[in-house]
Amino acid sequence: MIARSNEVDLTNLVRYLEQVLGLRIEPRQWDGCHALPQYLVDGYEYYSTRLLTHECLLMLDVSDQGRTPSAISKQTGKVMETTGHIVIYVRRTLDSWTRQRLIEHQVQFIVPGNQLFIPSLGLDLREYYRRAKPRSEVFRPATQLLMLYILYNRAYDSLVQTEAAGLVRYSLMTISRAFDEFEMHGIGEQRIQGKERIIAFPIRGKELWQQVLPFLDSPISMRKLVASPLPVGTGLPAGLSALAHYTDLAEPKIPTLALDIKQWKALRPRLEEVAVREPGIIEIERWKYPPDKLAGTQAVDRLSLYLALRGDADERVEGAVATLLEEMQW
C-alpha cells in the first residue's frame, strides 16, 4: 500500500501524546463514520481515545488538499455537534499562519512532534507558535479598499490572491494581510490551491456589505482648508461636493477634494493652509487609500463617501447620505 503524502503516522502521534502528557494512550479506530456527511468522511480518519479522563475523537486529516482554517473550524464543529465528543484535528504538518488562525478559531488540534492545542482539557503546548495579535476593530485601509472593490465589481467567486493584488494595484504582501483579516473576521471562505490562496463569498451584495460594515472606517485621515488653487485635475470631488453630485443636495460654498497621501505630500509645500471657512477656500481631505481606485473622474465612490459622512448631525446631509445606499446597484 502506498502511503499518502499527508498521512499521519499513528505511532508517532501516540508517542508524542505519551511524551507530553505522561499517559498511556490507546487510540482505537472509530466506527461511527456512518453518522457523518460524506464530506466529513473523505480525506479523514477517525480514532477515539481517552485523554485525561475525557473521551476524545482524533480527526486525522490525510487529504493532499489544503484546507483553510475557516473550513477546518466548520468541519470540526460539525463533527462535534454530530457526535457530542471532544474533537481534536490532527495534521502531519501545518504552516504557522494556519496554526495561528486555528487557535484564533479555538479549533483543538495536534501537529505530532510540533504543537498541541486542546484548551478544553487545559492543554496548550507549542514550540513554534508566536502569540497572535489581537483582532483589530476595523480593517486596514488596503483591506477596506479591496472589500469595496469586491462589492463594486461583484468579484464573489474564486478571487485569487495574486489576481486581487493586480486588480487593486497593491503588493502581494498587502493583499495577503487583507486575506488574513477576512479570515480573522469570518468574512468569505478561503481555500488553498497549490501556492495560491483563493477566497469566495457565499454572502453577496447588500448582505455582504452589512456583514462587513462594522469593520469599515472613514477613509479620511485628515482635513485641511487651503487658500491656494490646485492644479487642474488634482483630486476628486469629495464630502458635500460629491454628495451634491450623487443626490439633490445643493453644491456647498466650500468645495471639497480628496487626495491620496502621495498627492498630498507633493502639493503640501505649495499650499497655504488657513483656519477660516470663507469664499475662495478649498477643503482638502487626505484619504487613507487612493480614491481614484474605486471611482471615475466625477466624484469619489458612493460607499467610501457614505463611510466618510455617516453620522453627520445635519439632517439634510443625513438624508442625502441615506440616499447613497438606497440608489446603490448591488
**Per-residue pLDDT at 7:** 67
**Per-residue pLDDT at 270:** 85
Q: State the cell numbers at 308.
A: 466618510
* Architecture in CATH for domain 10-126: 3-Layer(aba) Sandwich (3.40)
> Is residue 87 helix, strand or coil?
strand
State the pTM of this model. 0.62
DSSP letters of 141-202?
HHHHHHHHHHHHHT--S-EEHHHHHHHHT--HHHHHHHHHHHHHTT-SEEEEETTEEEEE-S
Question: How far apart are alpha carbons 36 and 31 in whole angstroms?
Answer: 11
CATH 1.10.10.10 residue spans of the chain: 141-215
Strand (E) or helix (H) holding 223: strand 220-226
Q: What is the mean pLDDT of each run of 10 residues along the chain (330 residues)?
A: 57 84 86 90 91 88 82 92 92 83 90 86 57 63 97 95 94 93 89 88 94 94 88 90 95 94 89 84 94 90 95 86 91
CATH 3.40.1350 residue spans of the chain: 10-126
**Per-residue pLDDT at 68:** 85
**Per-residue pLDDT at 211:** 92
**Per-residue pLDDT at 288:** 96
Buried-exposed string 73-93: b where 16+ CB fall within 10 A, e elsewhere: bebbeebbeebebbbbbbbbe
Q: State the cell numbers at 173.
A: 504582501
Cβ atoms within 10 Å of 23's Cβ, excluding its own: 12
**Per-residue pLDDT at 299:** 95
**One CATH from 1.10.10.10, 3.40.50.170, 3.30.470.20, 2.30.29.30 for 141-215:** 1.10.10.10
**Per-residue pLDDT at 6:** 57
